[in-house]
Amino acid sequence: MDLTTVAALLLDMDGTLVDSDAAVERAWHTWAAEHGVDPAAALAIAHGAPAADTVRRLLPGLDEPAGTTAALRQLELQYDDLADVTATPGATDLIAALTRLGLPWAVVTSADTRLAKARLAAAGIDPPVLVTTDDITAGKPSPEGYLRAAELLGTPPARCLVVEDAEVGIRAGHAAGAATAGLKGVAADLPIGDLGQLATLLLAARA
């Protein structure tokens, strides 16, 4: 794909910019045990999606108050579990490249604001724009978060590159009208091994 047309990057957080996979899995294992859910079933659909949406899919029989309580419990398990949360490989290289190129960027995450800020701080990342589930009415695969981030950056979605490690996020990026880059073998317009590779490609495209 032609990276010279990219005017802004919209980055997912968990698994893309921040390595929090172990913390996420620990939280879902604990939550699943508490709620009588198969942990494997929870992890199979949890990645990249808001916790509330995953809880509703796993426990469709809950009424709204009970569903809200169950989702809040899942988030509580994650808030303080930051011991091994770090930046993903190449994340700092990508941020440095974006600064060098003058490309605006934002983080768009399925986490709420409290969790997003905690994990980004643990990873040493301070995004200029952050869009969380607190800022939108529908999470991924809805394009709302990516459309909101593009608006805040003042960039048409068609000139944004969405960077994701989950299929649900790629679907959200495409629905927003953006090009996509996929980590971890996720099908996307531009497959990448890590964020360092993306940094190299962006710098080369503008050399």
Structure token pair of residue 95? 């941020």
Determine contact, residues 159/149, Cβ cutoff 8 Å. Answer: no
CA distances from 8 to 11, 27, 96, 116, 179 (A): 10, 33, 14, 20, 11
Active site residue 194: no
Q: Which of 14, 19, 112, 165 is catalytic?
A: 14
Q: Is 8 helix (H, G, I), strand (E, B) or coil?
A: strand
Q: Which of 2, 12, 19, 112 is catalytic?
A: 12
Q: Which string of DSSP letters, residue by residue, matches 123-146?
A: HT---S-EE-GGG-SS-TTSSHHH
Q: Which string of DSSP letters, residue by residue, matches 74-108?
A: HHHHHHT--TT-EEPTTHHHHHHHHHHHT--EEEE
Active site residue 12: yes
Catalytic residue annotation: 12, 14
